[in-house]
Amino acid sequence: MKTLDQIISERRSVRAFDKDRPVPEEHIRAIVEAARLAPSACNSQTWRFIAVTRSEVIEKICKTAMRPVIPNKWLSQAPLLMVGCARLDIVANRIGARVTGTEYYQIDMGIAMEHMVLKATELGLGTCWIGWFAEEKVKAILDIPRGVKVPALLAVGYPADAAPAGRSRKSMEKILFSETWGNPFTFSE
Ligand SMILES: Cc1cc2nc3c(=O)[nH]c(=O)nc-3n(C[C@H](O)[C@H](O)[C@H](O)COP(=O)(O)O)c2cc1C
């Protein structure tokens, strides 16, 4: 059993999948269960997910709904596309957003989908978030109604290659302050 530390450090964005190896249904269930247990503002659970496994649909999304410059062509090889949908008709979220200016559904979706990512990593699957797409096109292809947002997609599958090199990260000193903005946090040991 992998530890959480192992899963977090093992995870990479995977952009090359074994197209002929589908994601078993029990793994789809497990990653959605991980999302289902995520926290959400007012426990509103705005999320809904569409598991797209039909290769012709994934291909259509890849060909017609990606944006230029980063066209995410590798997506056509993914055996599973999890489409993250958020219902906007949750009253608590709407009132909350009006008062604070925070779109809570975006936070909720991010947490739930990262739960999926970590569970998928534990199961030996690769994932890649996709945020660079034309939402209206995805909605049209999948019959997603008005009043539902699609903030992100998640490609899932067995990696085709060895783990891609990890991206560099900012140092702890750069991202952690102590007590007030900009004040360096110094660890005692
Ligand atoms: C919200 C979000 C949207 C992203 N959108 C894309 C995308 O459209 N295409 C892509 O190739 N990677 C996308 N990524 C993956 C990031 O590029 C990747 O997480 C980052 O470069 C760090 O690399 P790592 O995930 O391997 O650690 C996205 C990641 C997040 C969190």
Does 179 reside within a domain?
no
Does 47 reside within a domain?
yes
Long-range contacts formed by 95-103: CB under 8 A, 24+ apart: 96/41, 96/42
* Residue owning the nearest CA to atom 1 of ligand 1: 131
Q: Kindly report, residue by residue over 73-87, the tens digit of the pLDDT.
A: 999 999 999 999 999
* Residue owning the nearest CA to atom 9 of ligand 1: 130
Pocket test for ligand 1, best of 130, 153, 154, 170 (most atoms within 8 A of CB): 130
Does 13 reside within a domain?
yes
What's the CATH code of the domain at 15? Answer: 3.40.109.10
Instruction: Check if 13 has its Cβ closer than 6 Å to any atom of ligand 1.
Output: yes
167 — pLDDT class (breaks 50, 70, 90)? confident
Residue 164 has pLDDT above 80, yes or no: no
162 — pLDDT class (breaks 50, 70, 90)? confident
166 — pLDDT class (breaks 50, 70, 90)? confident
Which pLDDT value is given to residue 92? Answer: 81
Burial of 79 (0-12, 13-18, 19+ CB in 10 A): buried
Identity at 187, one-letter amino acid code: F
139 — pLDDT class (breaks 50, 70, 90)? very high
Does 172 reside within a domain?
no
> Global pTM?
0.96
Tell me which of 164 and 113 has the higher pLDDT.
113
Instruction: Check if 170 has its Cβ closer than 6 Å to any atom of ligand 1.
Output: no
Mean pLDDT of 121-132: 98
Instruction: Check if 167 has its Cβ closer than 6 Å to any atom of ligand 1.
Output: yes
Does 168 reside within a domain?
no
Does 24 reside within a domain?
yes
Domain containing 15 equals 4-162
State whether residue 151 is helix, strand or coil: strand
Helix, strand, coil shares of the chain, percent, nearest 5, are 40, 20, 40
In the chain, the number of structural domains is 1
Does 142 reside within a domain?
yes
Mean pLDDT of 88-109: 90
Which pLDDT value is given to residue 145? Answer: 97
State whether residue 14 is helix, strand or coil: coil
- Taking all residues of the chain, what is their mean pLDDT, rounded to a whole number? 95
Residue 56 has pLDDT above 80, yes or no: yes
Q: In angstroms, what is the span from residue 20 Cα to ligand 1's centroid?
A: 24
163 — pLDDT class (breaks 50, 70, 90)? confident
Residue 26 makes CB contacts below 8 A (sequence gap 6+) with none
Task: With CA atoms as reference, report the closest residue to 155 among 85, 86, 74.
Answer: 74
> At 63, phi and psi to the nearest 5?
-75, -35
Q: Kindly report, residue by residue over 8-18, the tens digit of the pLDDT.
A: 999 999 999 99
Residue recorded with tokens 């489409």 = 83
Identity at 155, one-letter amino acid code: A
| HSE-CB of 167 using CA atoms within 13 angstroms | 6
Does 79 reside within a domain?
yes
38 — pLDDT class (breaks 50, 70, 90)? very high
